[in-house]
C-alpha cells in the first residue's frame, strides 16, 4: 500500500525517521513532525544528552521550530505527530501553544501526560496508537542496548 501525504501513517513514519536520528545520536528515540495544511513545517527529535538540557525533548524542539515558521506562538490548525506520548512538561507546552491535533504512536504508562493527569487545551483533539508497534520496538531496542552497555 502506497502512503500519501494526507495519511496519519505517512506523517508518523516521518516522525519515526526523526526518532531513528535520535537513536543514532544515543538519545532516547522520540521523534516529531508538525503539520499544517498537509505540509511538514517542523521536525524534531530528543536532544537532551547532546545539549545537556532536560527540556530538550523532541516536542519542545518542534514547538519552537513550528512557531518560528508560522511567525507566532500559537499552533492552531497544526497537528503534531510524535512517536511517544508526551510527558507533562511537553503537554503543558502544547496546551499553551494551543495545538489543534496531537497524534502519538506509543503510550507512556509511567511518565505520559495522561498518567500524570496533565490536561491539553480543551480544543486539542488526540489520537493514539498510529504505528505503535514500530515506535515501541525502537524504544525497547534503545533501552536493551543501553542496559547492555552499562
Residue 60 included in any domain: yes
What are phi and psi for residue 42, nearest 5 degrees?
-155, 150
Q: How many structural domains is the chain composed of?
A: 1
pLDDT in tens, 49-68: 999 999 999 999 999 999 99
In 3D, which of 15, 22, 57 has the Cα closest to residue 142? 22
Catalytic residues: 59
Distance CA 149, CA 91 (A): 32
Residue 2 included in any domain: no
Residue 3 included in any domain: no
Distance CA 28, CA 53 (A): 13
Rounded alpha-carbon distances, angstroms, from residue 50 to 26, 45, 66: 9, 11, 21
CATH number, domain with residue 115: 3.40.140.10
- The C-alpha cell of 90 is what? 511537553
Which segments of the chain have a pLDDT < 50?
A: 1
Residue 143 included in any domain: yes
* Three-state secondary structure of the chain: CCCCCCCHHHHHHHHHHHHHHHHHCCCCCCEEEEEECCEEEEEEECCHHHHCCCCCCHHHHHHHHHHHHHCCCCCCCEEEEEEECCEHHHHHHHHHHCCCEEEEEECCCCCEHHHHCCCCCCCCEEEECCCHHHHHHHHHHHHHHHHHHC
Residue 28 included in any domain: yes
For position 48, what pLDDT does the model report?
A: 96
**Residues within the annotated binding site?**
57, 87, 90
pTM comes to: 0.93
- The C-alpha cell of 6 is what? 494526507
For position 127, what pLDDT does the model report?
A: 97
Give the residue numbers spanning the domain of 13. 8-149
**Residues within the annotated binding site for Zn(2+)?**
57, 87, 90
Residue 18 included in any domain: yes
Distance CA 8, CA 150 (A): 37
Amino acid at each position: 500500500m502506497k502512503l500519501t501525504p494526507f495519511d496519519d501513517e505517512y506523517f508518523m513514519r516521518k516522525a519515526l525517521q526523526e526518532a531513528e536520528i535520535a537513536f543514532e545520536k544515543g538519545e532516547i528515540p522520540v521523534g516529531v513532525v508538525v503539520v499544517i495544511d498537509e505540509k511538514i513545517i517542523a521536525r524534531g527529535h530528543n536532544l537532551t544528552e547532546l545539549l545537556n538540557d532536560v527540556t530538550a525533548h523532541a516536542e519542545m524542539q518542534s514547538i519552537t521550530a513550528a512557531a518560528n515558521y508560522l511567525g507566532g506562538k500559537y499552533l492552531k490548525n497544526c497537528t503534531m505527530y510524535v512517536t511517544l506520548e508526551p510527558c507533562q512538561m511537553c503537554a503543558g507546552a502544547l496546551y499553551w501553544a494551543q495545538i489543534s491535533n496531537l497524534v502519538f504512536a506509543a503510550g507512556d504508562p509511567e511518565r505520559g501526560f495522561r498518567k500524570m493527569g496533565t490536561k491539553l487545551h480543551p480544543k486539542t483533539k488526540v489520537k493514539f496508537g498510529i504505528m505503535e508497534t514500530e515506535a515501541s520496538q525502537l524504544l525497547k531496542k534503545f533501552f536493551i542496548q543501553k542496559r547492555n552497555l552499562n
